Structure 1
Amino acid sequence: MELAVLIATGLLVAATLLPLSRHPHWFVRGMDFPRLQLAVIAAVLILIQVLLLDHAKAQTWILVSATAVCLAWQLWWVLPYTVFWRAEVKAEKSPSPDRKLSILTANVLTPNKQADALLRLVNQYKPDVLVTLESDAWWQGHLDTLQQDMPYSMKCPLDNLYGMHVYSRLQLDETEISYLVEEGIPSMHALLKLRTGDQVRVHFLHPAPPSPTENPESAERDAELVIVARTIVDSDQPVIVTGDLNDVAWSATTRLFRKLSGLLDPRVGRGMFNTFHAKYPFLRWPLDHLFHSHHFTVSSIKRLPYFGSDHFGLFTELSFRPVRGKDQEGVRADADDESWANSIADEQDVDSKDVPAPGE
């Protein structure tokens, strides 16, 4: 038993230390994902150590201390995405109808053929904007039935798991589809006109994940996030970025994106809203995101019911309140963050000038 506990503690310490290296290999970056699960494992392991090991041995307390440090470190990353943390974005309890903006983001999973289930959710929640990821020509044929109510659209049907569609009740201007880092991996950019007449710059993203079957490193994903963030930070425009970023909300790279862009995360202080994997309750992470500038407050954020995909949909309702939201503040970049961002962009030879900036 003592040997088993020692091995388990060693593995936990290794899993905790790996992401500190910032190495882009998929396995290293993958250790950012299960921080909540690792925290649970650490808590259980401490209980086992205290109950079963010899308290008279110094080794026991070394193991307990090492595991406790791992537990504290993992919790430091995930606790902001619980109700135990101060909310980063102000709540709007009674939003003015003309200032509301609702967005439904859904990775549909290309082989999934339950389009009717997603369409029922759209009809139920009536979002102003629907964003779909992994949508191909088959999905487009079904989604086009929305065009009577959502006449503005952007369409990029692909059969490589990176198709993307946007359907909107609100006017879209200066629309552009770009391939920022990798061929075949699109992003969408536009100006969205609110009911108030104000314009919001929107970016819809779905970078490829680091994985042994796609990109062995996270460099391409990270580079896309970095260059998009850098086009936003100096803008006075209202901005929204949403999509499946193939990265968890609490990872170092998503945190880097938030620091560089200055955008806020409405989930902070409210919950994790784990959208993936829909079929495995104990292996779920927040992979679908919506970030916004200080111009907005939040009235609702929900993970939607299952519709056949490996992702749940994410429904977010914002309120355009630039005066009330002016003092909202997220995390800030320092010199080390800027240096890391430079190395990520330089490695992929990409520049923020390649990112469309509608309205500027």
Structure 2
Amino acid sequence: MIDFVKILIYVLGSVLILISLLPLIRHDYWTFRVFEFPRAQKWVSNLIIVIASFLTFTAEEYFSYGFILLLIANQFYLTYQIYPYLPFAKKQIDSVPTDRKPSIKLLIANVLQGNRDWGKLAKMVQKEQSDIVLLLETNEWWKEKCVNAFGNDYKYHVLEDKENTYGMLLFSKLELINTRVHHWIKDDIPSIETDIKLNNRLIKLYAIHPEPPVPSENPKSTARDAEILLVGQKTQADKTPTIVAGDLNDVAWSYTTELFLKISGLLDPRRGRGFFSSFHAKHSIARWPLDHVFCSGHFRLQKMKRMSDIGSDHFPMFLQLYLAKTNDDSDELELEKEDKILSKEKIEKA
């Protein structure tokens, strides 16, 4: 029995080290990209195997020393990866009281196209009274339900319903100006670009939902990465306060998202506050952050919350942002020449 446990530790530990290192290979194929997602799960699993190794292996088993050292090194590596998202790490965006004005409230939800429990979402929208409501995976059925349920409360609409799980509905109480619907990478995947008028100032909003790198949709991350980075290039050129929101089908700590932050100059409110894992709502063990709001240094965070279940496989995300008078870009990630070259290559490849 002891020998079986030792073999199991060697096998599981080796597999864990392998899948921790695979994302370092910058290949677009899904088998490399998918292991970026469960970073917290890998950290916990590795810790369990380290403890099991100390309890199982004896001092005479010299080969085990090297294996345990590899596991410990992997633990430090995974800790380094998740550290920026722990509550005691440095915040990229400062916090301010919720009563400070002007502020903007955003509610983002991937509703799951086949979900029919629309009443939960309608009650949430009614309760939160957000200025902006962005809904993803919305087809004609969802459009009709949402417009009838709370459309009258939102004067401005952008209704891009689709039957391919990439529909997008934007409801706003604030005036929308210069609104455009793009199909940057694929003709059947829309994204929204618009200016929002808040207290006589204009805020640029990009709403995106690129396809994921999974065999059932696209075995490569090329299209997803390109759309994310293309938006990053556009936000870099914007000097106005900017928000990028949506289901990016990518985790906050992936190398693509970090490259996006470098290219765009935007900030991640999750950093220094927690994971706020929004997917998968039905599986508490397999859960990671896919639904994002990134913003420029013009904003300070007043409130961020992962909302309750609405029958989808995603939890909605709610944020309240204060629009400051000045742009604090001191915590932007450093952009290097290699980052620009890599971003350009990825966009051209798509």
- Equivalent of 1:168 in 166, 172, 187: 172
Q: Does 1:75 pair with 2:79? A: yes
Give the Cα separation in 1 of the matches to 2:254 and 2:38. Answer: 10
The Cα of 1:72 is off from its aligned counterpart by 1.5
Give the Cα separation in 1 of the matches to 2:343 and 2:63. Answer: 41
Give the Cα separation in 2 of the matches to 1:48 and 1:247. Answer: 32
Give the Cα separation in 1 of the matches to 2:264 and 2:200. Answer: 24
Give the Cα separation in 1 of the matches to 2:302 and 2:171. Answer: 22
Q: Which residue of 2 aligns with 1:331?
A: 333
Q: Which residue of 1 aligns with 2:155?
A: 151
Give the Cα separation in 2 of the matches to 1:329 and 1:299. Answer: 18
- Equivalent of 1:343 in 332, 342, 345: 345
Partner amino acid for 2:343? A
Question: Compared with structure 1, are the counterparts of its residues 224 and 327 closer, same or farther at alpha carbon in structure 2 (3 Å cutoff)?
Answer: closer
Identical columns (%):
33
Give the Cα separation in 1 of the matches to 2:62 and 2:338. Answer: 38
- Equivalent of 1:19 in 10, 19, 23: 23
8 Å CA contact retained: 1:95, 1:319: no
Question: Compared with structure 1, are the counterparts of its residues 104 and 94 closer, same or farther at alpha carbon in structure 2 (3 Å cutoff)?
Answer: closer
TM normalised by structure 2 equals: 0.96
8 Å CA contact retained: 2:108, 2:316: yes
Give the Cα separation in 1 of the matches to 2:200 and 2:62. Answer: 68
8 Å CA contact retained: 2:13, 2:71: yes
The Cα of 1:217 is off from its aligned counterpart by 0.3
Question: Compared with structure 1, are the counterparts of its residues 322 and 22 closer, same or farther at alpha carbon in structure 2 (3 Å cutoff)?
Answer: farther
Q: Deviations over 1:94-152 (max 9, x none)?
A: 4434x010100000000001111001001111100000000111111111132221110
Give the Cα separation in 1 of the matches to 2:143 and 2:217. Answer: 25
The Cα of 1:4 is off from its aligned counterpart by 1.8
8 Å CA contact retained: 2:98, 2:303: no
The Cα of 1:17 is off from its aligned counterpart by 1.2
8 Å CA contact retained: 2:189, 2:210: yes
Q: Does 1:243 pair with 2:246? A: yes
8 Å CA contact retained: 2:236, 2:263: yes
Partner amino acid for 2:29? H
**Please, which moves more after superposition, 119-128 or 325-334?**
325-334
Partner amino acid for 2:301? V
Question: Compared with structure 1, are the counterparts of its residues 148 and 328 closer, same or farther at alpha carbon in structure 2 (3 Å cutoff)?
Answer: farther
8 Å CA contact retained: 2:90, 2:271: yes
TM normalised by structure 1 equals: 0.94
Structure 1 gaps, min length 5: 349-360
- Equivalent of 2:63 in 53, 59, 62: 59
Q: Deviations over 1:224-244 (max 9, x none)?
A: 011110111132111000000
Partner amino acid for 1:274? S
Q: Which residue of 2 aligns with 1:351?
A: none
Q: Deviations over 1:160-184 (max 9, x none)?
A: 0000000000000111111100121
The Cα of 1:29 is off from its aligned counterpart by 0.1
8 Å CA contact retained: 2:40, 2:82: yes
Q: Does 1:48 pair with 2:52? A: yes
Q: Does 1:187 pair with 2:191? A: yes
- Equivalent of 1:28 in 28, 32, 53: 32
Give the Cα separation in 1 of the matches to 2:98 and 2:9. Answer: 53
Q: Deviations over 1:27-54 (max 9, x none)?
A: 1100100111011011000001111012
Number of equivalenced pairs: 345
8 Å CA contact retained: 1:158, 1:164: yes
Q: Does 1:276 pair with 2:279? A: yes
Q: Deviations over 1:45-75 (max 9, x none)?
A: 0001111012233321211111111112222
Q: Does 1:292 pair with 2:304? A: no
Q: Does 1:216 pair with 2:219? A: yes
8 Å CA contact retained: 1:89, 1:328: no
Give the Cα separation in 1 of the matches to 2:252 and 2:18. Answer: 22
Aligned residues: CA RMSD: 1.1
Give the Cα separation in 2 of the matches to 1:239 and 1:327. Answer: 13
The Cα of 1:209 is off from its aligned counterpart by 0.2
Structure 2 gaps, min length 5: none
Q: Which residue of 2 aligns with 1:353?
A: none
- Equivalent of 1:138 in 136, 141, 152: 141
Question: Compared with structure 1, are the counterparts of its residues 22 and 3 closer, same or farther at alpha carbon in structure 2 (3 Å cutoff)?
Answer: same
8 Å CA contact retained: 1:206, 1:246: yes
Q: Which residue of 1 aligns with 2:6?
A: 2
Q: Which residue of 2 aligns with 1:198?
A: 201
Give the Cα separation in 1 of the matches to 2:219 and 2:167. Answer: 21
**Please, which moves more after superposition, 325-334 or 231-240?**
325-334
